[in-house]
Amino acid sequence: MTSPLSTSIDVKHDVSLSSLTTIGLGGNARYFVACRTVDHIHEALKFSHARHLRTQVLGGGSNVLFSDEGFNGLVCRIELQGISLVDQDDDVVVTVAAGEEWDSFVQQCITKHLAGVECLSGIPGFVGATPIQNVGAYGQDVRDSIVSVKAMNRTTLEVITFSNSDCRFGYRQSRFKAEDIDRYVITEVAFKLRKYGRPEIRYPELQKFIASTTDLNALADGEPALRSVRDAVLTLRRRKSMVVDSNDPNARSVGSFFMNPTITADRFAEVRGQWERSGAKDEMPTYPAGDKVKLPAAWLVEQAGFPRGYRRGRVGVSQNHSLALVNYGGTTRELLDLATRIQDAVRERFGIILEREPVVIPP
């Protein structure tokens, strides 16, 4: 029901959070408000400050885990809408409100012949969340195209614009996830995209799939070529249950639960030596990462004894991707227990600590 404590925003009590997340877990929020304007965000934060409440910002709920006990504070769901375009010679700067659905935005870019985000098709969630962890897939990251990020300081309520370099992007990382975690509410993101650009295919799996299905060079610049890449990415993601699909039980997840660990060349030599001494005959897969080595977390999970389809009670590992932990009617506590077991097993087998990708919200 609506709270009588605020007249300028519609604050509700005891709102279920499980229905607002892709994994379908979590108890109730003590207070909840849907913010459809920047003024709504301003008023929601004032409401929270006045009552000394914790505030949790929520977008599409695709990378967050709420406690079974819920959240004893204010959940502020960002639902700002709007997209504007400004020509800049061969490019277009597209400014997008934080509450726009990411994949819908990607689809619109392709329809308008704009290149730069096509490999990020099918990723769930809202635009405002993408800079936080520098969302990426199939060889493309949002930092490649972000021009600026506008955000409201949660304490001072001041609106600040950050340049790309100000955001301090890294692998699945930014200032908004590191030193400035929970300090800002992102309200809009600006991207620079190429007019009638051709897709840049860097990721081996995507390169191989497109080569086997499409003559990309025969397709015209802009929408035809970009659409072909989008279709390929969506096909690959569906095979892994990495798109939101109510008919796919393996899609009740937060996507990849663990990040690919990056280690020094010396450390990799130690890990590989340990692997070879264990009697393993398979080559340990790696990806280049500058002067470091990136290991596929999915491979580590499987080698540690958690193959696709592994079940523990009412949660498990996806049948289609070993990095996705799936809710089969369980609880947040069960899922986190499984995640801890996987991390412990990988650490014991390889001496590597897997970092979790989703945000776990305490009650």
Model pLDDT for residues 347-361, shown as the tens digit of each residue: 999 999 999 999 999
Contact of 172 with 143, CB cutoff 8 Å: no
**Average pLDDT of every residue of the chain:** 95
Among the options 30, 168, 172, 356, which is catalytic?
172
d(CA 32, CA 44): 9
Q: What are 315's strand-pairing partners?
A: 312, 327
The active-site residue, picked from 101, 200, 302, 357, is 357
User: With bands split at pLDDT 50, 70 and 90, how would you rate the model's confidence at 8?
Assistant: confident
Instruction: With cut-offs at 50, 70 and 90, classify the pLDDT of residue 283.
Output: confident
Give the containing element (helix H, strand E) for 253.
none
Average pLDDT over residues 115-129: 98
Is pLDDT at 3 greater than 80 in this prediction? no
Burial 6-32 (b: 16+ CB within 10 A, else e): beebebeeebebbebbbbebbbbbbbb
Which residue in the list 148, 228, 256, 322 is annotated as catalytic?
Answer: 256
List, in order of start, the domains of the chain with CATH numbers.
Answer: 12-78 (3.30.43.10), 83-239 (3.30.465.10), 249-361 (3.90.78.10)
> pLDDT at residue 7 above 60?
no
CA separation for the pair 169, 178 (Å, rounded): 10
Please confirm, yes or no, whether 349 is among the known catalytic residues: no
| Residue 111 pLDDT greater than 90, yes or no | yes
> What is the C-alpha separation between 312 and 317, in angstroms, rounded?
9
What pLDDT is recorded for position 2? 38
> Is 172 a known active-site residue?
yes
Q: Residues 182-220: pLDDT tens digits?
A: 999 999 999 999 999 999 999 999 999 999 999 999 999
Residues 153 and 333: their CA atoms lie apart, in Å, by 32
Residue 5 confidence class, pLDDT cut points 50, 70, 90: very low
Query: Angle at the Cα of 74 (from 73 to 76), degrees rounded to 5?
Result: 150
Q: Is 34 left (phi over 0), alpha (psi -120 to 50) or beta?
A: beta
pLDDT beyond 90 at 279: no
At 58 the pLDDT is 98
Q: Is 256 an active-site residue?
A: yes
Structure pTM? 0.91
**Do 248 and 344 touch, CB atoms closer than 8 A?**
no
